[in-house]
Amino acid sequence: MKRREGFTLVELLIVVVIIGILVSISIPIFTAQMHKAKVAADWANLRAYYAEIQADYMSTQQKNPKVKLSGIEPGSDWYSVTFLDGHKAEMKAGICGVRFTENQGYSIVYHCNKNHEKCNLGLGENYTSP
């Protein structure tokens, strides 16, 4: 009598097909979670930045020249913020805009690149939603 060892080709193909199905299901879930993680990192950076520049405004009662207003001043951009100590935080999943209003201070607006309404963020008293 022959002793049978190992797997047949059909058994191996079934295992490969099952693994392929599991991978095809998990890729969209993984991609969505990556986007959420990038947005969360952007929000954390913007909240820290807002706290820093607003505290500076509250202590001096004037606009700090180191804070670049988005789209208005040379050197400003929509894809990063530069903290007052000089380090720069790049936006991972969206764009942000910084505005200044006399007697109120700063406001920050954030929109994700995928235009998800739930990913938008507005910080500041003079923030108006789009």
Please choose, from the candidates 21, 24, 4, 3, the residue with its C-alpha nearest in 3D space to the C-alpha of residue 13. Answer: 21
User: CA angle, 82 as apex, 115 and 97 as ends, to 5°?
Assistant: 35
- 130 has a pLDDT exceeding 60: no
Which pair of tokens denotes residue 87? Answer: 């380090």
Model confidence pLDDT, tens digit, residues 42-76: 999 999 999 999 999 999 999 999 998 887 766 67
How large is the average pLDDT for residues 74-89?
A: 87
**Residue 54 and residue 124 in contact, taking contact as beta carbons nearer than 8 Å:** yes
CB within 8 A of 109, min separation 6: which ones?
96, 97, 99, 120, 121, 122, 123, 127, 130
The per-residue pLDDT for 108 is 94
- pTM for this entry: 0.78
